Structure 1
Amino acid sequence: MYEHLVLLKVKDSFTAEQREETVKKALAFKEEVPGILGISAGVIETENPQHKQGFALALRLTFEDKQACLHYDAHPAHQAFLKEVGPYIEEIIIADYPF
């Protein structure tokens, strides 16, 4: 299996409603993209600013293997998601690893 972790730091203009809608769209990947075994996403609620570091959204996707993760990256649903959310993103941290 292969894990894909994503943290998004978004601009202040990205509203709470937009954040919640982004989470819903990310969760829909499981039905749209082959090879996803599990997914979770949410608005970060960490209170301590040292821990949160300005990041607002977190996603975790578990894939069958690395190839499925690579397929997801190029999948039209993911690309459309990036195009829509991209203008609001200040920083992204991504960590991929097999387990």
Structure 2
Amino acid sequence: MIRHILLIKFKASVQSSQITAVKTLFETMPDKIEGVVDVEWGLNDSPEGMNKNFTHAVLMTFADEAARAHYLPHPQHEALKEEFVPLLDDIIVFDYPV
């Protein structure tokens, strides 16, 4: 399996309804793309103050490297990016095998 972590900092102008719409797009990926096993969405609540203004996280699980390779150019992923990327102030993407 492959874990795909996104740490997200949205632009200050982004509305909560836009964030909710993006959350829904992410959470429906397992139903739309074979090999996407699971998606978790979270809002930072660490009391340590070490998040460097990143407020949200997405944790995706792919069945294997082939599933990740299938996901990256997939039309549903491209559609998600069209909605998501314009809202970003910054993002960190980190993948690792499990």
TM over 0.5: yes
Greater helix share, structure number: 1
Gaps of 5+ in 1: none
Question: Aligned letter for 2:26?
Answer: A
Q: Over aligned residue pairs, what C-alpha RMSD do you find?
A: 1.5
* TM-score in terms of structure 2 length: 0.88
What's the counterpart of residue 55 of structure 1?
Answer: 54
| Residues in 2 aligned to 1:72 and 1:46: alpha-carbon distance in whole angstroms | 30
Aligned residues: 98
What's the counterpart of residue 3 of structure 2?
Answer: 3
Gaps of 5+ in 2: none
Question: Aligned letter for 1:22?
Answer: V
| Residues in 2 aligned to 1:16 and 1:84: alpha-carbon distance in whole angstroms | 14
- Runs of 4+ in structure 1 off by over 2 angstroms are 42-48
Indicate how the Cα distance of structure 1 residues 7 and 82 shifts in structure 2: closer, same or farther if over 3 A, else same.
same
What's the counterpart of residue 18 of structure 1?
Answer: 18
1:1-99 residue pairs with structure 2 within 5 A? 1-46=1-46, 48=48, 50-99=49-98
